[in-house]
Amino acid sequence: MLGIRKSHVIGIVVGGLLGAVISGLFGRFGISMALNEAVLWGAAIGGILAGIPQFAQSGAVITQNPSSVWNPVIGLAAGLLFFGALLALVAAVWNLVF
């Protein structure tokens, strides 16, 4: 299924449901939060938390230390840096073309 693991799907679904529950709870305390935004953020956070073992694996490749506690953080940071660089490249090409 396009590289999505079962644990990621479960994390996304559970995160989305928890986001909906938190949105409802915040509404009871007078804090307004849009349901769709809460579900989206919950699903994103759930998917990231479900992917911690893969982030640790990529961090271990970068640090060359399989037992470091920082491997998940380094793996996540490397992924974010790569995505940011790719996004900056797309934005630069977009500005040149359009």
Looking at residue 2, its pLDDT comes to 64
pLDDT higher for 98 or 73? Answer: 73
Kindly state the average pLDDT of the residues 7-17: 94
Is residue 40 within 8 Å of residue 34, measured between CB atoms?
A: no
Q: What mean pLDDT do residues 71-85 have? A: 95
Distance CA 26, CA 85 (A): 36
pLDDT in tens, 26-76: 888 888 888 899 999 999 999 999 999 999 999 999 999 988 899 999 999
